[in-house]
Structure 1
Amino acid sequence: MKRIVILGGGESGAGSAILAQAKGFDVFLSDSGVLQDKYKQELSGKNILFEEKGHTESLILSADEIIKSPGIPEEAPLIVAAKSKNIPIISEIEFAGRYTDAKKICITGSNGKTTTTSLIYHILKSAGLNVGLGGNIGQSFARQVAANNYDYYVLELSSFQLDNMYDFKADIAILLNITPDHLDRYDHDMQKYIDAKMRIVRNQTLADAFIYWGEDPIVTKEVVKLQPKATLYSFTEFKKEGVAGYSDNHKLYIRTPKSVFEMEQDLLALTGTHNLYNSLAAGITAKLLDITDEKLRLSLSDFKGVEHRLEKVASVKGIQFVNDSKATNVNSCWYALKSMKSKVVLILGGKDKGNDYTEIEELVMSKVHALVFLGVDNSKLHKFFDGKVTEIEDAGSMEEAVNKAYKLANDGDAVLLSPCCASFDLFKSYEDRGDQFKFWVRKL
């Protein structure tokens, strides 16, 4: 019997274990940390063997195949040891993809992927399709393949999930943009990160679609270089020759081989230029899947948005508090600042991933009158921003950050949490960071 070992016991690992057992494999799960109670109960209930708080090397290196959690880096000692023994190492996405014939719509990009993934899912579900949502969002893909029989999957894929993907193929692949992110995981080599993102087109054929932002300098260069075999559909802000999605004269247009769709831009639920791109990518996808104009129009206008992404929390004494905790890189923060109509008090900081803050320097200087640095180590932020913004404060907790930002803000300002950084220095996750922000704002 083939032995499958799963490294990492979060949602991705637990889902992989359940699917591997359902397919009749000998399964063992190992995590160096502590498993959440819900996963322990689930694994025990299904008699799946697991260990936590450490790895037993002999049990792991006896695997025929290893499914690696996206969070584990390639240079982890166990991964290096497994590679030296030629044990195949794959991702949960690669594994689950073997066991479903459903159409797979896969979304990646440095920014906007959660919003676009959620929007596409909303459109397909509202149109009555039998569709699952997974990958980097919601329940794991593997868990759903084990338990459900969907006709479509909408999957948000991070570069880490794409890294260990080999035979998996997206029927529709969407690449929103590529800007520096996670460079700490890619030896501070931008090309390695780009190569990981471009794996989204792997194994595609002419019958498949590749949808991408036609004005992204990196993506367009890679498209010329790689010559993807898929049928290409690009989107741009304004009308250009051969573009499938664009805006013109306050309207959004989507041109696919079978139809031309148009809609007043004012009716879109999502506002801002970056959300226009997200709506265009989702719209092209919908028309390729033959969603009617009427249903698409309705879904694009009634979508509720994503938690922790430019989420309006409350207005306190004329000050608008905005939770953009999902902005874990500099480019996300750039989009957030770009969409702000008022003066801003910006809360920045966390675990730096090799950030370059020059991208937001101009916007900070023109829109931000006070900064609050929220992190264990704010030295890099001070080095860059000191002297550029008159008021700068440090905070060691979210309560302190919210109170300081509130005191610094004037009537009509926005207090924006858009940290540019990962959350792991002070918080469990970006969700935890955003939830704490909302909690303390509501206490004001």
Structure 2
Amino acid sequence: MKRLVILGGGESGVGTAILGKKKGYDVFVSDFGKIKENYKEVLTINEIKWEEEKHTDSLILNADLVMKSPGIPEKSPMVKKLIEKRIPVISEIEFAAQYTDATMIGITGSNGKTTTTMLTYHLLKSGGLNVGLGGNIGKSFAWQVAENQFDVYVLELSSFQLDGIINYRPHIAVITNISPDHLDRYNYNYDEYISSKFRITMNQKEGDFLIYDEDDEAISGWFSKNKTKANKIPFSISKPITNGASLNDKTMKINIKEQEFTMDTNFLALEGKHNLKNAMAAASVAQLMKIRKETIRESLSNFQGVEHRLEKVLKIQNVQYINDSKATNVNASFFALDSMTVPTVWIVGGVDKGNDYAELMPLVREKVKAIVCLGVDNKKIIDAFGNVVDIMVEVDSMVDAVRTSQRIAEKGDAVLLSPACASFDLFENYEDRGRQFKQAVQNL
């Protein structure tokens, strides 16, 4: 019996454990932190052995195969030991993909991947396909492979998940865009991070498809030096595209396999240039999957959006409060600020992942009237924008951030939580940060 050891007892770890057990592995789950009570129950019911708050060498280094949760860096001592012993260390995606014949759609990118994934899922489901949603989002992919029979999977894939693939091959891959993020995990080397994203296409063959942003410098740079076997389907909002998606005045046009789809962009449910690109990517997938044009149009116009991504919370005394807690990097905050049409009080800060705020400067000058710094260490933000905005305040709780913003904001302004940073200094995760923001707004 082969031994499968799983590092990390979260959603992806427990899902992999269930699938591993079903496939006849001797399974052991080890988490250096605490495992949540509900996951412990699942493991115990399924008679899967586990440990928490430690990694025991003798129980791990005898593995035939290790599945590592995406949050654990390659540099961690246990992973180093496994690599030294030449024990394969893979991601949940790699492990689960070999046990399903479903059509795979994989979506990655620095920003927009959750929205594009949700939108693609919405389009395919509305088109009547039997489709599962997973990866970096929702219920574990492995867990679904163990318990459901989906014909198609739409997976959101982070660079960390792609680092752990060997044979995973999506039939349709999407790269929404690439901008510097998580550089702390890639030796502060942007090229390493870019290569990591492009792993999504490394196993693709001639009959597969790669949908990508033709306007993106990092993507074009990669293509100037590398090739893919997949059929390339670019999208652009700045230039005409013959085989792919483009913008003609206010009309989105998609030409794929001599099939043309058009839609007036005024009817798109999601606002902003970046969401137009997300819609192009998702609609391109839908067209490849032969969803009816009318269904695509209808679904693009009724999509509800993603929680914590430019989510309008409330309007109080004619001030709009917007939750963009999912903006954990500079590029995401760029999109948020770019879509603002009124003077904005910007709540920003958290754990800095090697951010360069320079690209935000023109937008901050144009749109931001005040900055509320919400982080343990705000020095970089203060240094970057101290001379650019009139008001700069430091706070150390979400309630303070919201109350301070309310005092500063005037009728017709907006208050935008778009942190450009990770959340781990003051919050559990970006969802917790977003929920606290919404709660504080509702309590005003």
TM-score by length of 2: 0.99
Matched with 1:217 is: 217
1:397 is matched by which residue type in structure 2? S
Structure 1 distance, partners of 2:211, 2:90, is 25
1:284-295 map, 5 Å: 284-295=284-295
Structure 2 distance, partners of 1:238, 1:216, is 11
Q: For residues 423-442 of structure 1, what are the alpha-carbon distances to aligned partners after superposition, in whole Å with 9 as ceiling and x for unaligned?
A: 01100110000000000001
Matched with 1:92 is: 92
Matched with 2:11 is: 11
- Residue 247 of structure 1: CA displacement? 1.4
Structure 2 distance, partners of 1:49, 1:206, is 43
Matched with 1:128 is: 128
1:435 is matched by which residue type in structure 2? R
Moved more, 97-106 or 381-390: 381-390
1:280-319 map, 5 Å: 280-319=280-319
DSSP 3-state at the match of 2:54: coil
1:383-422 map, 5 Å: 383-422=383-422
2:76 is matched by which residue type in structure 1? A
Moved more, 238-247 or 20-29: 238-247
Matched with 2:366 is: 366
Matched with 1:145 is: 145
Q: For residues 164-188 of structure 1, what are the alpha-carbon distances to aligned partners after superposition, in whole Å with 9 as ceiling and x for unaligned?
A: 1111001000001100000011111
Structure 2 distance, partners of 1:241, 1:148, is 39
1:404 is matched by which residue type in structure 2? T
Q: Is the 8 A contact 1:238 1:248 kept in 2?
A: no
- Residue 241 of structure 1: CA displacement? 4.2
Structure 2 distance, partners of 1:14, 1:217, is 38
Matched with 2:234 is: 234
- Residue 258 of structure 1: CA displacement? 4.1
Matched with 1:205 is: 205
1:297 is matched by which residue type in structure 2? R
2:116 is matched by which residue type in structure 1? T
DSSP 3-state at the match of 2:66: strand
Matched with 1:333 is: 333
Structure 1 distance, partners of 2:42, 2:278, is 36
- Residue 387 of structure 1: CA displacement? 1.7
1:75-114 map, 5 Å: 75-114=75-114
DSSP 3-state at the match of 1:237: coil
Q: For residues 286-339 of structure 1, what are the alpha-carbon distances to aligned partners after superposition, in whole Å with 9 as ceiling and x for unaligned?
A: 000100111111111110000000000000101000000000000000000000
Structure 2 distance, partners of 1:202, 1:143, is 25
- Residue 15 of structure 1: CA displacement? 0.4
DSSP 3-state at the match of 2:236: strand
Structure 2 distance, partners of 1:64, 1:341, is 56
Question: Structure 2 regions of 5+ residues with no counterpart?
Answer: none
User: What percentage of aligned pairs have identical amino acids?
Assistant: 53
Q: For residues 15-66 of structure 1, what are the alpha-carbon distances to aligned partners after superposition, in whole Å with 9 as ceiling and x for unaligned?
A: 0000000100000000011111110000000000000011111101010010
- Residue 242 of structure 1: CA displacement? 2.8
Q: Is the 8 A contact 2:312 2:321 kept in 1?
A: yes
Q: Is the 8 A contact 2:213 2:235 kept in 1?
A: yes
DSSP 3-state at the match of 1:168: coil
Structure 2 distance, partners of 1:340, 1:258, is 37
Cα separation, partners in 2 of 1:243 and 1:338, compared to 1, 3 Å? farther
Q: Does 1:31 align with 2:69?
A: no
Structure 2 distance, partners of 1:168, 1:346, is 41
Matched with 1:191 is: 191
Q: CA RMSD in A?
A: 0.8
1:239-250 map, 5 Å: 239-250=239-250
DSSP 3-state at the match of 1:280: helix
DSSP 3-state at the match of 1:387: coil
- Residue 224 of structure 1: CA displacement? 2.9
Structure 2 distance, partners of 1:241, 1:96, is 36
Structure 2 distance, partners of 1:323, 1:241, is 34
Moved >3 Å (runs of 4+): none
Cα separation, partners in 2 of 1:241 and 1:274, compared to 1, 3 Å? closer
Matched with 1:344 is: 344
- Residue 361 of structure 1: CA displacement? 1.1
Matched with 1:324 is: 324
Q: Is the 8 A contact 2:243 2:256 kept in 1?
A: no
Structure 2 distance, partners of 1:160, 1:170, is 16
Cα separation, partners in 2 of 1:166 and 1:95, compared to 1, 3 Å? same
Matched with 1:72 is: 72
Q: Is the 8 A contact 1:329 1:421 kept in 2?
A: yes
Structure 2 distance, partners of 1:92, 1:305, is 27
Structure 1 distance, partners of 2:272, 2:243, is 20
Q: Is the 8 A contact 1:350 1:425 kept in 2?
A: yes
Structure 1 distance, partners of 2:176, 2:354, is 22
Structure 2 distance, partners of 1:38, 1:167, is 32
Q: Is the 8 A contact 1:398 1:437 kept in 2?
A: yes
